[in-house]
Structure 1
Amino acid sequence: MSRIQTSVTRLLGVRSPIVAAPMAGASTVRLALEASRGGGFGFTAAGYGDAQMLHSDLQVARTVSSVEMRHGLPIGVGFLGWQLDQQPSALDMLRTVRNSDVQAVWFAFGKDLGRWINHVRELDSHADDGRKTIIFVQVNSLREALVAVHEWKVDVLVAQGIESGGHGNGSAPSTFTLVSSILSALPHSGPPVLAAGGLANGTHAAAYLTLGCAGAVFGTRFLLTPESLYTDAQKAALISAGPESTVRTMAFDQARGTLGWPNGVDGRAIRNETVADVEAGVDMQEVKKKFQEAVNGGDPTRMLVWAGEGVHLMREIKGAKVLVEEIHSEMVLALESAGLLVQHD
C-alpha cells in the first residue's frame, strides 16, 4: 500500500490520512481498530455513556488490538462537550482514556471545550510516561477555528461543513468554503486541518488534499460497515438513499429526547415520516410513540438514519479495514492523475 505523507499522518504515525469519525450510536472500538488496521485512524464515540461503559469498551480494545501500540492504543475517543458538561463522571471518563493509553481525543459541540482540553493536558502532565494525548477539535466556522488554534492550541482541526451527516451547526458554510477560509487564515505552522462533510470516496478526499488539507474525515461511509452499530434496516435505508434524501432537522432529537445541544446545532438525516410529522405540527407525544415503535420494529419509515449529502454515492457494505484501503487507493490514483495534468514546456 502506497503511503500518503501529510502533517496528520506524521502526527498519528499512520500510512493514510483517512479518519473514521466518532459517531454516537454507531461507532464502536472494533470499527475504530479496523479503520486503524487499514492504515488510517479510527475513533469510537463516548456518546451518551458514562465512565464505566467507556472503561469496559477500552478494556476490550486493549485486549483485541492487533495494531502496533508504539504510540499508545491506536484509536481515539470522541466526546460531546455538552454531554461532558452534564456528566457527573466526566473527569473519570477523561482519566479512563488517559489510563487506557488512547492516542487521541476528539471534542465537539460544547460551550466550554477549553475546560475539557485543559483537563486532558493536566492528565498528561501528571503522567510519568511522557506521552501527549493528541487533541482533535471539530469546528463549524472560521471563528471557532481561530479560538481552537490560538486559545486552546489544539493539535488537529476538523472543519465540518453543512453537508455533513449527523449533528453540526445549521449555519455552517460548505466544507469547501469552510476549509478554504480556515487555511487562508492560519499560518503554515498551524495544526493539520481535516475536511469533514459530504465525503464519499477517495476522489473527494484527494481534492481536499490538493486544497491544502492534511486529511479527510469520513462518517456516513463507515456506517455501512459490519463493525458499525447501525441495524440492517438502517444500512438498507442508506444504500437506497438518493441525492435529495437527506434533511437538516431536530425532529429526531425531539422524538428520542436527546435535547441540550448548543444553539444553532441540528442534524442531517434521511427524511422520513418522523420529520414530516414534526414539520406538520403533530403532537410530540404521538411522534415519540410512533418513533419508538419504529425503532422496536425496525421500521425505516420513521427510525433515525443519520446521513451526509454524499450518501447516494455509497452502495456497498464493506469492512472498515477494507474500506480504508479502498479509499486510500482511490486517493492515490486521483492524486497521481492530477499530477499528469501539469506539463512543463
Structure 2
Amino acid sequence: MSEIISTGLTSLLGIKTPLIVPPMAGVSGELILNSNFRMISTGYQPAEVLISELSLARSLLEIQSPTGKLPIGVGFLGWLLDKMPFDEAKSLLNAASSANVQALWFSFGSDLGKWVQYVREHFPTENSLIFVQVNSVEEAIHAVENLKADVVVAQGIESGGHGSGHAPPLSELLQGILAQSYNSSHQPVFLAAGGLANGADIASQLTLGAAGAVMGTRFLLTPESKYTDAQREALIVARSEDTVRTMAFDHARGTIDWPEGIDGRGLRNDTVLDFERGESINVIQSRFKEGTRTQDRKRFLVWAGTGVGSMNRVMPAKDVVKELHEECQQQLAVDSKKLDL
C-alpha cells in the first residue's frame, strides 16, 4: 500500500486509509487484525464476553502491555443499554474503558447523551474517541452540538444491517449534515456509510466532504469474518436489487425490541417472503432455525448493503484494504486531473 490518504480520519486514528469497519455483531473474528480500523459490537452479550473478545484482540494485535492503547473500537446499542439494569450497562462500558480501546461507537438510542456523559465523567478524556451514528440531519445536529461527538457517522438508507427505514440516501444525508454543521463551533470528523463497495465509492464520499467511509458488507467477504462459506457465497451471487429492508429476520431470531423505525437490510429469501405474507411467527422461527442449522440460503440471514452487487469474490481483509486504498487513490487522481482541465 502506498502513501497515506490524508484526511481528518486518518489523522485522528493514525491510519493510512480513510476506512472503518463498523460494529457487526457475530462477525468480528480476525478482522481485528487485518482490517485497517475495526469496531467490535457488544450486541446482546454480557460484559464477560466483551472482556474475552478484547483480550483476544490484544493477543492478536500482539500488544504486550495489559494497559497499552488497544487500537480498535467498541460499538454500543443505546436502546439496549437503556433496557439493561444500570449496573450491567456500566459493566459493559467499564470493560471497554479498562481495555483502553481507542474509540466507543454509539447508535440507535433516544438518550445517547446519558451514556456519552457517563463515559466522559468516568473515563480519562484522552482515552476514547466518541463515535455517534446518525440517520438524519436532526440526529447529526444533536450529535455535534449536544454530544460533542469526535466522529459522526452518516448512515444512509443503502446500508446493510440495522438502520433507520426513513433515512435518506447517503449522498443527500451527508450533504445535508455538512451544510448544517458548517458554522458550528464544534467540528467533528464526518464519515459516510451505506451501500459503498469499492475505492471509487470512498473517493466519491471524500469529494463530497466526508473524512472517510464505513464499509461492512465488503468485509463479510473475507475469510477472517465469522460468516460461513454459504453466507459468503450468497453475497457473491447477490444483485443489489436482492437486498431488502425488513424486520423478518429480527422476528425469526426473537430480537424485535429495536426502536420504532429501525429495521435491517439483508438478502431477500423465503424467511422474508413468509413474514410478508403473514406466516405465523412460530413457523417462521422454526424454519429459520432449521435453515440456519443446515445453511439453507433460502432461510438463513445474510445482512447486505446495496453495494453487494459489485462484490464478487472472497479476499483476505488486508488485501481488501490494499485494493480499496489503491482504487481510492486512483479515483482521486482522476478527479484531480478533471479539476485541472
TM-score computed with the length of structure 2 as normaliser: 0.95
Task: Name the SS for the 2:323 alignment partner.
Answer: helix
Residues 254-273 of structure 1: per-residue CA shift (max 9 Å, x gap):
11100111110011010000
Once the two structures are superposed, residues 57-79 of structure 1 have per-residue CA deviations (whole angstroms, 9 ceiling, x without a partner) of 11111122147999811111111
Matched length? 335
Query: How far off is 1:48 after superposition?
Result: 1.3
Work out the CA distance in 1 between the residues paired with 2:63 and 2:53. Answer: 17
For 1:53, give the aligned amino acid: V
Tell me how large the CA RMSD over aligned residues is: 1.7
Separation (CA, whole Å) in 1 of partners of 2:340 and 2:119: 49
Distance 1:74 1:298 in 2: 34
Question: Cα gap change, 1:221/1:56 in structure 2, threshold over 3 Å: closer, same or farther?
Answer: same
Q: List alignment gaps of at least 5 residues for structure 2.
A: none
Residues 240-285 of structure 1: per-residue CA shift (max 9 Å, x gap) = 1012100110011011100111110011010000110111111111
> Aligned runs of 1:278-289 on 2, under 5 Å?
278-289=275-286
Distance 1:210 1:343 in 2: 15
Q: Is the 8 A contact 1:50 1:87 kept in 2?
A: no
Letter in 1 for 2:18: P
- CA deviation profile, 1:269-306 (whole Å, cap 9, x unmatched): 10000110111111111111101000111111011111
Structure 1 letter corresponding to 2:26: G
Tell me how far 1:216 sits from its aligned partner: 0.3
Gaps of 5+ in 1: none
Amino acid at match of 1:97: A
Note the alpha carbon deviations across 1:110-144, whole angstroms, 9 max, x for none.
1211111111112224xxxx633101010000000
How is 1:164-203 mapped onto 2 (pairs within 5 angstroms)? 164-187=159-182, 190-203=187-200
What percentage of aligned pairs have identical amino acids?
A: 50
User: Separation in 2 of the partners of 1:102 and 1:132?
Assistant: 7
Partner of 2:192: helix, strand, or coil? strand
Residue of structure 2 in register with 1:33 after alignment: 33
Q: Kindly provide the CA deviation profile for residues 49-102 of structure 1, in whole angstroms up to 9, marking residues without a partner as x.
A: 110000011111112214799981111111111222223421111111111111
What letter is aligned with 1:229?
K
Matches within 5 A, 1:139-158: 139-158=134-153
Moved more, 143-152 or 9-18: 9-18
Mapped pair 1:255 → 2:252: yes
Q: Distance in 2 between matches of 1:246 and 1:200?
A: 14
Distance 2:73 2:89 in 1: 16
1:43 to 39, 50, 54: 39
3-state SS of paired residue (1:183): helix
User: Within 5 A, what are the aligned runs for 1:120-159?
Assistant: 120-125=119-124, 131-159=126-154
Alignment counterpart, residue 332 of structure 2, candidates 323, 335, 340: 335
The change in CA–CA distance for 1:208 and 1:124 in structure 2 (over 3 A counts) is same
* Alpha-carbon separation, structure 2, partners of 1:86 and 1:289: 27
Structure 1 residue 169, shift from structure 2 partner? 0.4
Aligned residue in 1 for 2:113: 114
Q: Give deviations 1:152-188, integer Å, cap 9, x for gaps.
A: 1000000000000001000100000000000111136
Query: Shift of the alpha carbon at 1:214?
Result: 0.3
TM-score by length of 1: 0.94
List structure 1 runs of 4+ shifted beyond 3 angstroms. 66-71
Separation (CA, whole Å) in 2 of partners of 1:33 and 1:182: 32
Aligned-partner Cα distance in 2 for 1:258–1:159: 24
**Match of 2:140, as an amino acid?**
A
Aligned residue runs from structure 1 range 1-345, under 5 A: 1-28=2-29, 30-36=30-36, 41-66=37-62, 72-88=69-85, 89-125=88-124, 131-187=126-182, 190-343=187-340
Give CA deviations for 1:20-46 in whole Å, capped at 9, x if unaligned: 111112223x2123113xxxx111111
Letter in 1 for 2:119: V
1:181-203 C-alpha deviation (Å, 9 max, x unpaired): 00111136511110000000000
Q: Distance in 2 between matches of 1:64 and 1:279?
A: 43
- Paired AA for residue 173 in structure 1: P
Q: Secondary structure at the match of 2:123?
A: helix
Question: C-alpha distance in 2, partners of 1:297/1:342?
Answer: 54
